[in-house]
A and B are shown apart, each in its own frame.
Chain A
Amino acid sequence: MEKRGTYQQYLNRFGWKCVAPSMVLFCVFMLYPILSSLYYVTRRWKGMTNTFIGLGNFVRMAHDQVFQAAIGHNFLFMFIQVPLMIFLALILAVLLNQGIRHFRGPIRLAIFLPSVTSLVVVSVLFRVLLQANGMLNNVLLGAHLISTPIGWLNDSGWAKVTIILAMTWRWTGYNMVFFLVGLQSIDTEIYEAAEVDGASKVRQFFNITIPLLVPVILFSAVTSTSGTMQLFDEPNILTWQGGPANATMTAALYIYRQAFFVNADFGYATAMSYIVVLISGIFAVVQMRLLGDRRSK
């Protein structure tokens, strides 16, 4: 009996040895940064020195209109781009799954292709495509669809559209693959029964497909919204440092610029990152609730 106890202890020790290397890395590169941020958040940097200001950084935030606008842009992209992309991805998945009989493989591959590009590549490509003398404007002008070039990157409204276009191009195929997997798990007999009852394809889509795919849709929404909260590469490269005039400034980009570009105030930047963590946390809790409810039904 005692021998068995020591053997269990031996196995337990081996278990700890297995997780030890990753725990060391976790403590150094995750836990320590989190704990030390508690120190940074209470301080204000001026040049090389910093002083304790308590909650002063949060007071400053309440008056910082650029930061508030940046958070607003995050929400704007979240509430327009994510639903748009999910709807598009759903339609493409359904058409691919039920609408056609040939070339399914190649078409799926082609639509997924944008997902192999990095966000930097997407930003670079779209910036060259959409700049004032870029390809899209040249083609539109050539076809006499517009008479003056569209300010895809220079107009504060169009610049937001540009970011949405780039994100949608990059992520629609990616989400479509999730939905295709979900669709394959739906029993085709349901559709045959609906067909017999005379339900149109559109009704089948809204009354059968979407309700049955809700868990997958929610999963996509969770990952997409958390991605949108972290939006950084596109506004920094595609619309050039959140421009024009901060029209596409996002929270992550503003924090980065406060810490490493504008005035190296690590305290203020840390305080703002707390707000981003808070918002992400709230979204995660809400979405996990929704997912959990669906699972238990």
Chain B
Amino acid sequence: MSVVRNWSGGRVVSLLVLLLAVVVSVFPFLWMLVGMTLNPNDVLRGILTPGKEFVSNWEKATRNYNLLLFFWNSIKIALLTVFFGLIVNSIAAYGFEKYPSKARDRVFGILLLTLIIPQIAIVIPMFRMFAFFKLLDTHAAIILPSIMSVFIIFFMRQNFKMFPTEIMEAARVDGAGEFYTFLRIVSPSMQATYASGAIYLFIGQWNSYLWPLITILTDAGKTLPIAMASMMNAYTIEYGALMVIVCISVLPVLVLFLSMQKQFVAGLLGSVK
């Protein structure tokens, strides 16, 4: 009886539709993984059995395209953004939430308002500004504008709401300073929030394309997305080496997602609450 109910017609159709979606979703990942081991022609033919070209593809990617340098640039920029971003945004969120004042609420309202401004409208005056200070083609130009994030402040403020203000008051009675309370008592208990914020900041910077495309002018400063995009401009494309670079650039985000699924999705859903 229960077997019949488990495998009724509706369930079979559901499962088939879902499996089709799984195949479509996963196939490109399989294809690019296998692509790392194939010669360029086999990549285009869609062969899904591993070949023997991995070593030569890896060598092409690291020697002809400087993969390791681009990886280092990307990881350095992303980690510095996460580091400064977490400090600046968390303390701002804390200030907005735990020290309520009408004036600061008005400021927060203005911050939220700027969320609707598309990036393309900001990059032109910002490019002129960085050009004026002769900071184009530096990694500081990529890091500095992405440290402060209205979304992260908003997200962390939502989470600071749940921290009981009584504990802060108890710390005050014990003679703890305000900053000490934040550093030693409040932030250690918000690790999950920091983790979600870090994931969000990391992925945003790791994947960013438009602003680095405008500011990076030399080969040595390129990040992985810029490197991949400019590989596509070449007359002949080394598909095997390209797949190596694509896989390397997907890997950190994939690892983050698989190891911290809960915080990853919390970062996504933060704005829904």
Interface flags for A1-39 (1: CB within 8 Å of B; 0: not) read 000000000011011111101110110011011101100
Please state if A107 and B22 are interface contacts (CB–CB under 8 Å).
yes
Please state if B99 and A255 are interface contacts (CB–CB under 8 Å).
no
The answer to whether the Cβ of A124 comes within 8 Å of any Cβ in the partner chain is yes
Q: CA–CA, A173 to B45, complex, Å?
A: 27
A22's partner among B89, B228, B257 (CB-CB below 8 A) is B89
Enumerate chain B residues within 8 angstroms of A281, measured Cβ to Cβ: 116
Task: Report the count of interface residues on A (CB-CB < 8 A).
Answer: 89
The answer to whether the Cβ of B6 comes within 8 Å of any Cβ in the partner chain is yes
Interface flags for A153-190 (1: CB within 8 Å of B; 0: not) read 00000000000000001001110011001000000000
Q: Given A18-B99, A92-B21 in contact, is the A36-B129 Cβ separation under 8 Å?
A: yes
Q: Given A29-B144, A99-B14 in contact, is the A256-B272 Cβ separation under 8 Å?
A: no
Give the interface SS of chain A, mostly helix, strand, loop or mixed: helix
A25's partner among B32, B126, B147, B249 (CB-CB below 8 A) is B147
Please state if B178 and A277 are interface contacts (CB–CB under 8 Å).
no
Enumerate chain B residues within 8 angstroms of A251, measured Cβ to Cβ: 120
The answer to whether the Cβ of A139 comes within 8 Å of any Cβ in the partner chain is yes
Q: CA–CA, A223 to B272, complex, Å?
A: 11
- Nearest-Cβ distance from residue B85 to partner chain A, whole angstroms: 10
Enumerate chain B residues within 8 angstroms of A274, measured Cβ to Cβ: 121
Enumerate chain A residues within 8 angstroms of B144, measured Cβ to Cβ: 25, 29
* Chain A stretch 169-213: residues in CB contact (< 8 A) with chain B: 169, 172-174, 177-178, 181, 201
The answer to whether the Cβ of B253 comes within 8 Å of any Cβ in the partner chain is yes
The answer to whether the Cβ of B15 comes within 8 Å of any Cβ in the partner chain is yes
Please state if A11 and B178 are interface contacts (CB–CB under 8 Å).
yes
Please state if A284 and B116 are interface contacts (CB–CB under 8 Å).
yes
The answer to whether the Cβ of A57 comes within 8 Å of any Cβ in the partner chain is no
* Chain A stretch 99-155: residues in CB contact (< 8 A) with chain B: 99-101, 107, 109-114, 116-121, 123-125, 127-129, 131, 133-136, 138-139
* Chain B stretch 88-139: residues in CB contact (< 8 A) with chain A: 88-89, 91-92, 94-96, 98-99, 101, 104, 107, 111, 114, 116-129
The answer to whether the Cβ of B68 comes within 8 Å of any Cβ in the partner chain is no
Q: CA–CA, A10 to B140, complex, Å?
A: 35
- Nearest-Cβ distance from residue B27 to partner chain A, whole angstroms: 9
B207's partner among A120, A129, A131 (CB-CB below 8 A) is A120
Please state if B209 and A233 are interface contacts (CB–CB under 8 Å).
yes
Interface flags for B32-73 (1: CB within 8 Å of A; 0: not) read 100000000001111000000000000000000000000000
Please state if B124 and A277 are interface contacts (CB–CB under 8 Å).
no
The answer to whether the Cβ of B200 comes within 8 Å of any Cβ in the partner chain is no
Please state if B122 and A33 are interface contacts (CB–CB under 8 Å).
yes
- Nearest-Cβ distance from residue A203 to partner chain B, whole angstroms: 14
Enumerate chain A residues within 8 angstroms of B210, measured Cβ to Cβ: 232-233, 252, 256
Stretch at the interface among A59-67, A78-86, A265-273: A265-273
Query: Taking CB as reference atom, which chain A residue is nearest B145?
Result: A29
Please state if B272 and A181 are interface contacts (CB–CB under 8 Å).
yes
Enumerate chain B residues within 8 angstroms of A270, measured Cβ to Cβ: 121, 124-125
- Nearest-Cβ distance from residue A18 to partner chain B, whole angstroms: 3
- Nearest-Cβ distance from residue A277 to partner chain B, whole angstroms: 5
The answer to whether the Cβ of A219 comes within 8 Å of any Cβ in the partner chain is yes
Enumerate chain A residues within 8 angstroms of B182, measured Cβ to Cβ: 18
Q: Given A107-B22, A124-B229 in contact, is the A216-B272 Cβ separation under 8 Å?
A: yes
Query: Taking CB as reference atom, which chain B residue is nearest A181?
Result: B269
A110's partner among B22, B32, B94, B209 (CB-CB below 8 A) is B22
The answer to whether the Cβ of B254 comes within 8 Å of any Cβ in the partner chain is yes
- Nearest-Cβ distance from residue B3 to partner chain A, whole angstroms: 12
Q: CA–CA, A92 to B24, complex, Å?
A: 13
Q: Given A12-B101, A30-B114 in contact, is the A125-B32 Cβ separation under 8 Å?
A: yes
Query: Taking CB as reference atom, which chain B residue is nearest A88?
Result: B21
Q: CA–CA, A164 to B267, complex, Å?
A: 26
Enumerate chain A residues within 8 angstroms of B229, measured Cβ to Cβ: 120, 123-124, 236-237
11 A–B contact pairs at CB < 8 A? A16-B95, A19-B107, A21-B87, A21-B88, A29-B126, A40-B125, A92-B18, A96-B18, A111-B22, A169-B25, A236-B229
**CB-CB nearest 7 A-B residue pairs:** A18-B95, A99-B14, A15-B99, A118-B207, A135-B46, A25-B148, A33-B125
Q: Which B residues are closer than 8 A to A by beta carbons? A: 6, 10-11, 13-15, 17-19, 21-22, 24-26, 28-29, 31-32, 43-46, 87-89, 91-92, 94-96, 98-99, 101, 104, 107, 111, 114, 116-129, 144-145, 147-148, 153, 178-179, 182, 206-207, 209-210, 214, 225, 228-229, 231-232, 237, 239, 242, 246, 249-250, 253-254, 257, 261, 265, 268-269, 271-272
Q: Which A residues are closer than 8 A to B by beta carbons? A: 11-12, 14-19, 21-23, 25-26, 29-30, 32-34, 36-37, 40, 91-92, 95-96, 99-101, 107, 109-114, 116-121, 123-125, 127-129, 131, 133-136, 138-139, 169, 172-174, 177-178, 181, 201, 216, 219, 223, 226, 229-230, 232-233, 236-237, 240, 251-252, 255-256, 259-260, 266, 269-270, 273-274, 276-277, 280-281, 284
